[in-house]
Amino acid sequence: MAVNTEAAQPYRADWKRGGLTSWITTVDHKRIGILYIVTSLFFFLLGGLLSLFMRAQLATPNEHFVTRGQYNELFTVHGTTMVFLVVVPILAGFGNYLVPLMIGARDMAFPRLNALSYWLFLLGGVVLYSSFFAKGGPAKTGWTAYVPLSELQYSPGHGQDLWILSLHILAIGSLATAINFIATIHNMRTAGMTWTRMPLFVWSIEVYAWLLIVILPVIGTGLVMLLLDRQVGTHFFIPDKGGSALLYQHIFWFFGHPEVYVIILPAMGMISEIIPVFARKPIFGYKAVAFSTVGIGFLSMLVWAHHMFTVGLGWGLQSYFMIVTLLVAVPTGVKIINWLLTTWRGNLIFDTPMLFALGFIAIFTIGGLTGIYLAAFPVDWQVHDSYFVVAHFHYTMFGGAVFAIFGGLFYWWPKMFGRMLNEKLGKWTFWLMFVGFNLTFMPQHFLGLMGMPRRIYTYGHGGLWEAYNMASTIGAGVMAVGVLLFFINAFRTNRHGKRAGNDPWMADTLEWLTTSPPPPENFTQPVPYVGTARPLRDLRLKLKERDERNGA
């Protein structure tokens, strides 16, 4: 059963049976997972389009592709979209689809709550994009919405209010999902799956969920205060009336910094699933990788003010936040070393998921190292709020998280849809994205060091400023072609792609035991007792042994 055969009768996908209503009423974690992923990919196209407009505007000095007001809307909605409507929910989608399968469960702990989470996510996205039609247009204060700029006096109109509403809705949905994940992981693991036999992706979703539970109420509070300031006449954040502009930054970053680890940890979890399968080895240092996930999650809650090194904090505080921030590099380094050593003496197979995983290591290493410049606060005083920071977080959030997500899409696509994505197109996607990514964001480090602040809609300098900006814009175009190829791939293989069978990659974890796509009840036969972290490999070996014995 565990041995892959393409001829194996594929299960007729549950989602091909019903019409639209079956999607609206579904409480199946797999359908909900697919809804999350497809919706996030749609928002990814929208957010990506916004970034292409920005790059067009910045390609040459004194460009007039968009107006100053539009540009501010573009980067605000781009950032909000990519964080709240793309990466966090697509990871929730993968988590939804994979966690019950990986732990041998029938569904999530609370299927109806799960459906509610998805619909809240969609609603939050619709509210954000509806603000384009609001009085005064959408919010234009960046994804951070710093006060007092986001207060009524400086940001009239309804865009900022809709932004707050959207984030509230998304936060409630995320909170419900997080609770659901924890209940599922803690209670529904199959026989024998102890904590140290759990797939590393499930570990990362566990930490993802705990972080969300800690931080979402905090940003919710901050957003309520901002809304009250704007609509009721309170002045939590209005200095003229006794409020504090810094308080908002503390609240925002106490949420905002762990939020980026909410994004990167499950992405790292995916990498930890993919590399061993394509190296034909176990992960090097399972416990170190699992515990470093917990370690990064914990430290992420202690470092928020490294986003505030230029606000004039006391020296003691700045020193503390530098040291704790530097400490994050330790568990992160442990992960990178363990992934590298997982490839050591392996039988490396360079299918597209593996290319994205290796690309992730190559790029994320750079994003991690530039974090050290930002942690050392006197250096941060130079590079803070410059394009250096823009480059840094795209190296972690795009070159890191999004590359891992693409690896995950190529890896689990066959499980979700029963057909393989085309490898040739997949490799083109990877190389275009890899080259395009570095061409886009590497020069932005240089621009930041040369003095280009972020969030400016135009600049007057020629020379290297123009050359680096032009390179960046060209790179964005190259990346866009790569992303487009992925969508072409998905549509083309939908009907005519190679059948996947249960386990096309000869993988290690339980989701590959069942058919692709799995039936509504997930597993048609009993899930074997889990004796190690690689139950499917154990099963394969056992079957092989039995065959040999029978043959002999």
Partner 1 sequence: MLRLFLALPAALSIALASAATAAADNGLTPVTPESPNAHAIKQTYWVILIITGVIFVLVEGALIVFVVRFRGRGRARGQDGAQIHGSTKLETASTIVPVLILAAIAAYVFVKLPTIKNVPPANAAGGSLKITVEGHQYYWKFDYPGGQTAVKTMVVPLERVVELKVVSPDVIHSWWVPSLGGKIDAIPGRTNHTWFKAERLGFYEVRCAEFCGLEHAHMTGYVHVVTPTQYASFLAAHKGASPALGREVFQGVCATCHGFAGQGDYGPPLKGNAVVADPAQLEKLLREGKNKMPAVGATWDQETMTAATTYMKERFGGG
Site for partner 1 in 139-168 (CB under 8 A): 141-142, 146, 148-149, 154
419 strand-pairing partners: 499
Q: Which of 296, 447, 480, 539 binds partner 1 (CB under 8 A)?
A: 447
- Piece of 28-36, 220-228, 320-328, 517-525 that binds partner 1 (CB under 8 A): 320-328
Q: Which of 24, 38, 126, 311 binds partner 1 (CB under 8 A)?
A: 311
Instruction: Decide: is 497 part of the binding site for partner 1 (CB under 8 A).
Output: no
Q: Is residue 278 within 8 Å of residue 353, measured between CB atoms? A: yes
Binders of partner 1 in range 10-39 (CB under 8 A)? none
DSSP conformational letter for 147: T
| Rounded least distance, CB 128 to partner 1, Å | 19
- Give the span between the Cα atoms of 218 and 168, in whole angstroms: 11
Q: Do the beta carbons of residue 31 and residue 108 sit within 8 Å?
A: no
Instruction: Tell me the closest approach of the beta carbon of residue 362 to partner 1, in angstroms.
Output: 6
Q: Which stretch binds partner 1 (CB under 8 A): 106-114, 159-167, 326-334, 399-407?
A: 326-334
Q: What is the DSSP string of 81-131?
A: IIIIIIIHHHHHHHHHHHHHHHTT-SS-S-HHHHHHHHHHHHHHHHHHHHG
CB of 403 to partner 1, least distance (A): 14
Rounded to whole angstroms, how far apart are CA atoms 22 and 381? 54
Distance CA 527, CA 191 (A): 8
Q: How far is the CB of 39 from partner 1 (least distance, A)?
A: 29
Token digits of residue 216: 């979402």
Are 407 and 271 a contacting pair, CB within 8 Å?
yes
Whether 271 and 360 have beta carbons less than 8 Å apart is answered as yes
How far apart CA 131 and CA 157 sit, in angstroms, is 10
For Cα atoms 396, 454, 154, give the angle at the middle one, nearest 5 degrees. 120
Show contacts with partner 1 in window 251-280 (CB under 8 A). Answer: 279-280
Instruction: Quote the CA–CA distance of 67 and 61 in Å, as a whole number.
Output: 14
**469 lies in the binding site for partner 1 (CB under 8 A):** no
Shortest spacing between CB 356 and partner 1, in angstroms:
14
Q: Which two tokens stand for residue 550?
A: 């029978």
Window 64 to 93, contacts with partner 1 (CB under 8 A): 68-69, 72
Size of the site for partner 1 (CB under 8 A): 89
The one among 84, 356, 459, 512 contacting partner 1 by CB under 8 A: 459
Q: Which of residues 95-124 bind partner 1 (CB under 8 A)?
A: none
Say if CB 261 and CB 304 are below 8 A apart: no
Among 7, 112, 312, 549, binds partner 1 (CB under 8 A): 312
Token reading at 371 = 């974090």
Q: Is there binding between residue 464 and partner 1 (CB under 8 A)?
A: yes
- For residues 187 and 310, which CB has a smaller minimum distance to partner 1 in the complex? 310
Is cis: bond before 517, omega within 30 of 0? Answer: yes
Name the residue nearer to partner 1 (CB basis): 31 or 534.
534
Residue 145, both tokens = 């919405």
**DSSP string over 414-475:** HHHHSBPPPHHHHHHHHHHHHHHHHHHHHHHHHHHHHT-BTT-S-----HHHHHHHHHHHHH
CB of 11 to partner 1, least distance (A): 23
Return the residue of 445, 476, 514, 536 that touches partner 1, per CB under 8 A: 445
Q: Give min distance, CB of 58 to partner 1, in A.
A: 10
Identify which of residues 29 and 392 has a Cβ nearer to partner 1 in the complex. Answer: 392
3-state secondary structure of 21: helix
* Three-state DSSP state, 386: strand
Q: Which is nearer to partner 1, 125 or 359 (CB)?
A: 359
Q: Are 461 and 61 a contacting pair, CB within 8 Å?
A: yes
Among 121, 446, 486, 512, which residue sits at the site for partner 1 (rule: CB under 8 A)?
446
Of 506-525, binders to partner 1 (CB under 8 A) are: 506
Q: Would you say 505 or 523 has its CB closer to partner 1?
A: 505
**Touching partner 1, residues 218-247 (CB under 8 A):** 239-240, 243-246
Among 10, 61, 157, 282, binds partner 1 (CB under 8 A): 282
Question: Which of positions 330-389 make contact with partner 1 (CB under 8 A)?
Answer: 330, 333-334, 336-338, 340-341, 343-350, 358, 361-362, 365-366, 369-370, 372-373, 376-386
